[in-house]
Chains A and B, each alone.
Chain A
Amino acid sequence: MNKTEKFLDTTVKFINLVAKVLPDDVVERLKLLREKETVTMSKAIYDSMFENLEKAVSLDRPICQDTGVIQFFVRVGTKFPLIDEIGDLLYKATLEATEKVPLRHNAVETFVEKNTGTNTGKKVPYIDYEIVPNSSNLEMDVYMAGGGCSLPGRSTVMMPSAGYEGIAGFVAETMVNWGINACPPLVVGVGIGTCVASAAKLAKKASLRRVGSRNPEPKAAEMEEALEKALGNIGIGAQGLPGKSGVLCVNIENMARHPSALGAAVSFGCWAHRRGTISFDKNMNYTLLDHKGVTL
């Protein structure tokens, strides 16, 4: 196989893996939450979730019937050999994976309002690029954005006087009003920026950061922990039913802002948080960063 074929083949297999096996950090946290839960209804749901994860592997089927819109978050080295072809290859990989996994058809062309039946369409699969100078590697997250968990996402710009407590309130309200239908326990990604767009993008990236990781800025990390605790105490359990285990994690990503604007956004991930990170070297040898011990 040449480099192009190797990249394509590996990416298709990786999409297949992400649809069927949750990343290590998510599974580990789900186990902890399951142990902590005391309410019968919520416990019964955790039992089903774990049974479902086992059956997805033994029957070789996607964890959830909604395999989402396929999204790639690419960090590409300027010297990566396939830098000019990535977009085309990820498009092809999505087409192929749709057949092979199989994935549900989740791309509806807007205005035409027709399902393309291929999981591809205008700007779909969604690809986000970051350039890494002086590197010949590529690292990327693959994420399956289900409809249920995309639905409650929100972005806004507040007056700075609203403060960080204003951001916390915005996140909590969104979770209680809409997030509870997004199959909790939830990954809560919070973005703090200067406009709706920058905040929303950071919120999305926050939701893709590993469960258990912390923002390097001490105050932001403190807010992550405090908000995680507060949201956990609201009394929401699995599937939005009463319980203690409705929050997988709170991750915050931040940037500098305009003196008179405080952008805030929240992006949720459901319990079936189908995210994976893979890296390729210049010879297209891969490493799986979130699925230890798995070979494609």
Chain B
Amino acid sequence: MNKKILTTPITDEDVKSLRIGDIVYLNGTLVTCRDTGHKRRVLSGIVPRTDLKGGAVFHAGPIVKKVGDKWEMVSIGPTTSMRMEKFEKEFMEITGAKLIIGKGGMGEKTVKGCVENKAIHAVFPGGCAVVAAAEVLEITDAEWLDLGMPEAFWVMEVKEFGPLIISIDTEGNNLFENNKAVYKESMEKEMAELSKKLKYMNY
């Protein structure tokens, strides 16, 4: 099977045809930005050196170490994307970022942002931090180090970074929201069946 690879800068064309559930990989530049970074970019107007037009952003707080004058990636994995729900839409508008990567789903506001800005949200498998680190070729820049290691704005070159499973597409489909509805329904059915078996109380 051919791997579908996105390369930064990512265009409208690249993401338009992608749908929730599709699996893609990333080549090019990837930056980390999470809670405080989003807040800083959206509220303070402080702009990082790295241009994010057509860029890819990873909700992640890595473990890095300094070897000589270069930073090395030890371990990096996704963190819960929902924490960035408050600022993601504005973040996309201001920066022009096209691909947001994290863990778990995001909410309605981000869905709106994805539709309006022709952007997508994707998930990287949680807990696969060594795989992710091995797909990082090098750390090319480190900004906002004043925020501490997990919150800093790390700029990396990545090769075939993934698997990335699309969870929000440019049409506004939301994989995790759809799933939740399905799970709830089948949970009720399963529990109704199970209840019959668990009559252990005496009366």
Contacts and interface: CB of A to CB of B under 8 A. Distances in A.
Interaction A to B: yes
Given A165-B194, A239-B123, A172 B187 contact: yes
Interface stretch (B34-42, B45-53, B69-77, B112-120): B69-77
Interface in A25-81: 40-41, 44-45, 47-49, 51-52, 55-56, 59, 61-66
A114 B200 CA distance: 47
A104 B149 CA distance: 11
Given A48-B125, A219-B200, A223-B198, 19 more contacts: A48-B128, A49-B125, A52-B125, A61-B75, A64-B75, A66-B127, A102-B63, A161-B201, A164-B198, A164-B201, A169-B191, A172-B191, A238-B125, A240-B104, A241-B179, A242-B179, A270-B126, A270-B127, A272-B127
13 contacts: A45-B163, A51-B128, A52-B129, A59-B130, A59-B134, A65-B77, A165-B194, A168-B194, A181-B103, A183-B103, A226-B194, A240-B176, A271-B127
Contact of A40 (B23, B130, B183, B186): B23
Contacts of A234: 183, 186-187, 190
Given A180-B183, A181-B103, A240-B176, A168 B125 contact: no
Interface string B167-203: 0000000011001101110110011011101111100
Nearest to B150: A104
Contact of A64 (B127, B179, B197): B127
A168 B200 CA distance: 12
Given A172-B190, A270-B127, A235 B201 contact: no
B187 A61 contact: no
Identify whether the interface residues of A are mostly helix, strand, loop, or mixed: helix
B131 to A, nearest CB: 5
A153 B64 CA distance: 30
Q: How large is the interface on B (under 10, 10 to 19, 20 to 34, 35 or more residues)?
A: 35 or more
Which among A44, A180, A234, A235 has the highest number of chain B CB atoms within 10 Å?
A234
A227 interface: yes
Interface of A: 40-41, 44-45, 47-49, 51-52, 55-56, 59, 61-66, 102, 104, 148, 160-161, 163-165, 168-169, 172-173, 176, 180-181, 183, 219, 222-223, 226-227, 230-231, 233-236, 238-242, 270-272
A222 B196 CA distance: 13
Contacts of B183: 176, 180, 234-236
B195 A168 contact: yes
Contacts of A272: 127
Contacts of B55: none
A180 B163 CA distance: 19
A255 B51 CA distance: 59
Contacts of B63: 65, 102, 104
Given A65-B76, A165-B191, A176-B183, A148 B133 contact: no
A148 B126 contact: yes
Contacts of A163: 198-201
Given A48-B125, A165-B191, A234-B186, A55 B131 contact: yes
B193 A230 contact: yes
A235 B182 contact: yes
Contacts of A59: 130, 134
